[in-house]
């Protein structure tokens, strides 16, 4: 069993806000692989159990609000007797990545993210994988709190949609084949487009 945690805040006022990128990835994965299932209330959140490429996974959206996400994660980890270092994947928004980008990491500090900080507190360790979903850096004159709780712009949403699909592909590979393979495949930087070929030379007429 793999535990896939999407971080976010519950309530209609937070729908499509930048801090809810993790919730959005869980919703997309459910729509893709378990469209007939209904979320069940467990572990202080909403859960769906499904098969991803033949591997069992529990998809969980904590309803404890972002800065108490660790409560829900710890309950699920304890119930299934999982190892956070290999069986847990946290889906989280990241202002250090541009919108449209994703990155997988095996461990690391919370980096100022309240959800990750509370998970670290609850587990007593920062050694758990996370999939970071880029939401762009905040504008210089804007408070971080206001930025992450604001809604994505239309331009950001156009970049986020394919990134969420890519994140779902990475989650499935993590469940079926492990973190290392998923990192090798999905942490590659996008190749810049090739420059256009120069036009053929004009024939010389004598």
Q: What is the pLDDT of residues 7-54, one digit of tens each?
A: 999 999 999 999 999 999 999 999 999 999 999 999 999 999 999 988
Tokens of 160: 């986020």
**Threshold 0.85, pTM exceeds:** yes
Record the tokens describing residue 177, joined without a space. 């084949």
Domains annotated for the chain, with CATH where assigned, are 2-186 (3.40.50.1470)
What are the residue numbers of the active site?
19
Read off the pLDDT of residues 139-186 as tens digits, 9 standing for 90 and up: 999 999 999 999 999 999 999 999 999 999 999 999 999 999 999 999
List, in order, residues 6 or more apart from 28 with CB less than 8 Å away. Answer: 164, 165, 167, 168
What per-residue confidence (pLDDT) applies to 199? 59
3-state secondary structure of 105: strand
The model's confidence at residue 62, banded by pLDDT at 50, 70 and 90, is very high
């Amino acid at each position: 069993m793999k535990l896939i945690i999407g971080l976010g805040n519950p309530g209609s006022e937070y729908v499509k806000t930048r801090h809810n990128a993790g919730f959005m990835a869980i919703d997309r994965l459910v729509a893709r692989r378990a469209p007939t299932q209904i979320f069940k209330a467990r572990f202080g959140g909403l859960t769906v159990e499904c098969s991803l490429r033949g591997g069992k996974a529990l998809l969980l959206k904590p309803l404890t609000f972002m800065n108490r996400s660790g409560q829900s994660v710890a309950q699920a980890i304890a119930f299934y007797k999982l190892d956070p270092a290999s069986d847990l994947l946290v889906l989280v928004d990241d202002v250090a990545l541009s919108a449209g980008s994703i990155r997988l990491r095996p461990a690391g500090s919370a980096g100022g993210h309240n959800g990750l900080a509370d998970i670290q507190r609850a587990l007593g360790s920062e050694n758990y994988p996370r999939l970071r979903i880029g939401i762009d850096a905040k504008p210089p004159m804007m408070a971080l709190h206001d930025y992450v709780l604001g809604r994505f712009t239309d331009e950001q949403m156009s970049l986020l949609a394919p990134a969420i699909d890519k994140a779902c592909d990475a989650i499935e590979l993590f469940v079926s084949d492990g973190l290392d393979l998923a990192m090798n495949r999905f942490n590659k930087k996008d190749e810049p487009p090739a420059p256009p070929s120069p036009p053929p030379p004009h024939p010389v007429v004598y």
